[in-house]
Chains A and B, each alone.
Chain A
Amino acid sequence: APKAVETEAPVVTEAPATEAPAETEAPAVTEEATYPPAPEFIELGSSISLTGNFGSLGNLILPGYQIAVEHINAEGGVFVKEYNTKIPLRLTYYDDESDPTKAVSKMETLFSEHELTAYLGGGGSSMHAASIPIAEKNKVPYLGISFALYKIHQQGYKYLFSPFPKSPNQTEDVFKILNEAIPEGERPTKVAVFAYNDDWGKEWGGLVKERAPEYGYEIVVYEENPVGVNDWTAAIQKAKAAGAEMLLTLPIFPDGSGMFKTMAELGWTPKFSLVIRAPEGVNWGESLGKIGEYVTIFPGWHHGAKFEGVDKLNARYEELYGRPADLLTGPAYACVQILAQAIEKAGTLDRDVIRDTIASGEFSTVIGKVTFNADGTGNVLDPLIQWQNGKMELVWPAEHATAPLIYPAPAFEDR
């Protein structure tokens, strides 16, 4: 049997479709209208990387989807006007082994085997890039997070929605925040960029190059590596020699940990470092200890964010995994929330109507109010997180902050 997750809560299977009308306040009920028989479930499908290179992402995203489904089903599901009843959600997911081709066939299987209402994405831009076109071809709304690559959104896909900060936000926000938080004269104006030669790396690097001067920063070192090269010695030496004060980079974990260990060894401490990707999991702090302190990230969310529902999510996550929700859990959870709200608003399981509803609506989620632009990018909060004392603290924007930004970072040898 395919791996159908009705979540751990028994509610799903029991949720009797007939109970729903009584509860609803919908005026339609009064007219004794006849409704078509409701499907047993609202089917959501996900091809997600649980093994292979992107396994760490997939395993963070999946619980977000699962808990959201569980929470919504605990309320009986989503009310769909067309059937005049609440219908529970059902998530079916397959492991694509971090292989784009397998992802394609898993996407097709999901579509063929289930009356899908929407796809939920996996993790990593290359996986999204392979999957999204299938959704587009099958005309099924696709909600995906955990990729900042903006370019995907410029392909004209109609069914893609991503409530997640993108490269243009990140590369602009970092300078904005610094200029707001740090008085002129103390700012780390000499910037080293350690980028990648993949398309996200290039997109990101290009944007940084463009923005830095606008905000009064100068890029003194720009180094590029292929993904998976964990030796950054040459780049670090150049940065050190150029007197760079700030590091902007987006390494995967092995590269990032290698980078920071070498930085400590070579004695170059940037006053401020924005390190996207590698430090987004709790393993960063566990693995790197003091060396990994004070780096900042733009993960799209933090469990300390003061939005409705965050506490409930954290509580459940704590129950399951013994810690507050991880950074990707919130956005994943939000995807399901958005879908549920859109379906309810649309009042139908017609995918095109749902798509239009997502595109035009405003949704309130654990990541805050979300609306979508025409290209499918979400207007979402882009909080800055900093590693402090082995924990990730939300340091920006101030109204959500759990701790103040620490600047400048103390030198490695003084920690």
Chain B
Amino acid sequence: MKKNLSFVIALVVTAALAAVPLFVKKDSLLTYLCMILLYVSLASSWNILGGYTGQVNLGHSAFFGLGAIATRLLWFAGWNILLAMLVGGLLAIAFALLIGSPAFKLRGAYFTIGTLALGQILYATVGNLFPQISSMPVQDLISYTLVTRYYLFLAVALITVLAATLVANSRWGLGMMAVREQEDAAESLGVNAFQHKLLALVLSAFLAGLAGGAFAFFQIGYYPQYPFSPIWTLDSTMMAYIGGTGTILGPIIGAIFFVVLKEVLSLNLAEFHPTVFGILFILVVLFLPGGFMGLWKRIKDKQQKKRESMAELSHP
């Protein structure tokens, strides 16, 4: 019953999001929505490896960037954008497979900083190899419509959340969580930790690659290096954390909170908006150490306990 309810809610939300362009005509609002959807994809895809599998990856922007760069090149070369994005995703997978086996030799902070270094290497390399700005040709600008971009971002976000949900509720998801919690115990029970981590990495990479593709389709002019910037990783990590890792809703809530708060503040307070943002952000962390989903869980636990103690009272 509960499952059905969430399913219905998800459907309604999806339908509402799909209808947005019919009512929203302002490009500014659509742009923000695009940003939110993009970050939902990034934070959710990060969460598959970082949240469910417990491998805190600070090189996520590498996958985003690879997706973007491949998509951009192929799209400019005349490919269909969807096909180009798919190739972008596959390129991200290829890179994930390449680094998976050495990266997973590392544990804890070593893995985290190791992936950070990997991301930085790609960032620097792409900067070296593609120093020229990539701009959409002017004749294409005429036909540029945000609505198309919006739907693409929406589709990627939906695919990401759906994939995360399916995996999290599968046997694979159980295995990933087991690896996150206690790798030795997981292996002793037959969970192949490496396989699970690799699967999570590949999936996470592919989805981030798709997001990168959508970004390449959206952003009119940028340096190819830009999507590889560590800022993307940092932002999506923070979003997943503040929403609550290892949950489906957490990264979504985190992304919305993050983007909306930042936007509202920066539109209203020109000079001091980062300070106010920082203070609010810290306050949220201090009061919600488990992120927004942690708060939700605590409320549920309290209710559960109350119910239990009531039950105890009636059957001593």
Q: Which residues of A contact B (CB under 8 A)?
A: 1-3, 50-51, 93-95, 97, 99-102, 104-105, 108-113, 125-126, 129-130, 132-134, 136-137, 151-152, 155-158, 197-199, 201-202, 226
Asked, given contacts A3-B270, A155-B138, whether A226 binds B219 with beta carbons under 8 Å apart, the answer is no
Determine the chain B residues whose CB is within 8 A of the CB of A152 once the complex forms: 133, 135
Interface size (B, Cβ < 8 Å)?
A: 39
B270 partner residues in chain A, CB cutoff 8 A: 3, 50, 93-95
The answer on a CB contact under 8 Å between B231 and A95 is: no
- Complex formed: what's the CA distance from A125 to B220 in Å? 14
Complexed CA–CA distance, A136 and B136 (Å):
11
Known contacts: A108-B27, A157-B138. The answer to whether A133 contacts B267 by CB under 8 A is: no
Task: Please give, as numbers and ranges, the residues of chain A lying within 8 Å of B274 by CB-CB distance.
Answer: 51, 97
Partner of A151 from B28, B132, B267 at Cβ < 8 Å: B132
Going nearest first, the 8 A-B pairs with the smallest beta carbon separation are A133-B220, A112-B28, A109-B28, A3-B270, A156-B138, A112-B26, A105-B31, A108-B31
Please indicate the chain B residues that have their CB under 8 angstroms from the CB of A2 in the complex.
267-268
Residues of A within 8 A of B311 (CB): none
Are A133 and B128 in touch, CB under 8 angstroms? Answer: no
Known: A93-B270, A108-B31, A133-B136. A226 touches B127 (CB 8 A): yes
Would you give the shortest CB distance from B267 to chain A, in whole angstroms? 6
Chain B residues contacting A130 (CB-CB under 8 Å) are 219-222
A111-B28, A126-B223 known; A50+B133 contact, CB < 8 A: no
Which residues does chain B contribute within 8 Å of A226, judged by CB atoms? 124, 127-128
Q: Is there an interface contact between B27 and A199, defined as CB atoms closer than 8 Å?
A: no
In whole angstroms, what is the CA distance A109 to B263 when docked? 11
| Interface positions of B from 172 to 221, Cβ below 8 Å from A | 219-221
A residues less than 8 Å from B137 (CB atoms): 155-156
- Which residues of B, 19-51, contact A by the 8 Å Cβ criterion? 26-32, 35
CA distance A50 to B271 in the complex (A): 7
| A105-B222 CB under 8 A given contacts A133-B135, A155-B138 | no
By a CB distance below 8 angstroms, the chain B residues around A99 are: 231
CA distance A108 to B141 in the complex (A): 14
* Complex partner residue of B135 from A3, A129, A198, CB under 8 angstroms: A129
Q: How far is it, in angstroms, between the C-alpha of A228 and the C-alpha of B128 when the chains are bound?
A: 13
Contact mask for chain B residues 135-148; partner A; CB cutoff 8 A; 1 contact, 0 none: 11111011010100
- Chain A residues touching B, majority SS: helix
User: Are A95 and B266 neighbours in the complex by a CB distance under 8 Å?
Assistant: yes
A113 partner residues in chain B, CB cutoff 8 A: 26, 28
Are A197 and B141 in contact (CB-based, < 8 A)? no
**Residues of A with C-beta under 8 A to B231:** 99
Check B141–A129 contact: CB distance below 8 A: no
Residues from chain B with Cβ under 8 Å of A202 in the complex: 131-132
For B38, the closest partner residue in chain A by CB is A101
- In Å, the complex CA distance between A11 and B258 comes to 39
| Cβ–Cβ contact A97 & B223, under 8 A | no
Tell me whether A95 and B273 are in contact (CB under 8 A).
yes
With both beta carbons as reference points, the residue of chain B lying nearest to A158 in the complex is identified as B138
Instruction: Evaluate contact between B28 and A105: CB separation under 8 angstroms.
Output: yes
- Which of the residues B32, B141, B268 comes within 8 Å of A1, measured between beta carbons? B268
Q: Are B267 and A129 interface neighbours, CB within 8 A? A: no
How far is B144's CA from A126's CA once the two chains are assembled, in angstroms? 20
> Would you call B221 and A133 a contact (CB within 8 A)?
yes
The reply to whether the CB of B151 lies closer than 8 angstroms to some CB of chain A is no
Q: From residue B232, how far is it (CB to closest CB) to chain A in Å?
A: 9
26 contacts between A and B (CB under 8 A): A2-B267, A2-B268, A3-B269, A94-B266, A95-B271, A100-B219, A100-B222, A101-B219, A108-B27, A108-B30, A109-B28, A111-B27, A112-B29, A126-B133, A126-B222, A130-B219, A130-B220, A137-B141, A137-B142, A151-B133, A152-B135, A155-B135, A156-B139, A197-B127, A197-B128, A199-B133
A78 to B16, CA, bound (A): 45
Asked whether A129 and B133 contact (CB < 8 A) given A104-B219, A226-B127, the answer is yes
A197 to B139, CA, bound (A): 28
B226 contacts chain A at the CB level, 8 A cutoff: yes
Which among B31, B133, B144 is the interface contact of A109 at CB below 8 angstroms? B31
In the complex the two chains form, is A137's CB within 8 Å of B144's CB?
A: yes
Whether A133 contacts B273 in the complex (CB less than 8 A), given A99-B231, A202-B131, comes out as no
- Residues of A within 8 Å of B31, CB to CB, are 104-105, 108-109
Decide: A198 and B220 in contact? CB cutoff 8 A. Answer: no
A3 to B26, CA, bound (A): 19
- List A contacts of B138 (CB < 8 A): 136, 155-158
- Asked if A197 and B131 make an inter-chain contact with CB atoms under 8 angstroms apart, the answer reads yes
CA distance in complex: A130, B226 (Å): 11
Q: Would you call A101 and B27 a contact (CB within 8 A)?
A: no
Please measure, in the bound complex, the distance between the C-alpha atom of A95 and the C-alpha atom of B273, giving whole angstroms: 9
Task: Report the minimum CB–CB distance from A109 to chain B (whole Å).
Answer: 4
Give the nearest-CB partner of A96 in chain B: B266
- Residue interface bits B99-114, CB-to-A below 8 A is 1, else 0: 0000000000000000
Q: How far is the CA of A99 from the CA of B138 in the complex (A)?
A: 22
Q: Are B29 and A199 in contact (CB under 8 A)?
A: no
Q: A109 — which chain B residues lie within 8 A by C-beta? A: 28, 31, 267
B131 touches A199 (CB 8 A): yes
Complex contacts, A1 vs chain B, CB 8 Å: 268
Quick check: B133 and A132 within 8 Å, CB to CB?
no
What distance in Å separates the Cβ of A135 from its nearest Cβ neighbour in chain B? 10
When C-beta atoms are compared, the residue in chain A nearest to B266 turns out to be A95
Instruction: Tell me the nearest residue of chain A to B226, going by C-beta.
Output: A100
Taking the nearest CB of chain B, how far is it from the CB of A155, in angstroms? 6
Whole-angstrom CA separation of A155 from B138 in the bound complex: 7
- Alpha-carbon gap, A273 to B256, bound state (A): 50
**Chain A nearest CB, measured from B315 CB (Å):** 59
Please encode chain B, from 144 to 159, with 1 for each CB lying within 8 Å of some chain A CB and 0 for all others: 1010000000000000
Is the pair B141, A136 in contact by a Cβ cutoff of 8 Å?
Answer: yes
Cβ–Cβ < 8 Å partners of B222 in chain A:
100-101, 126, 129-130
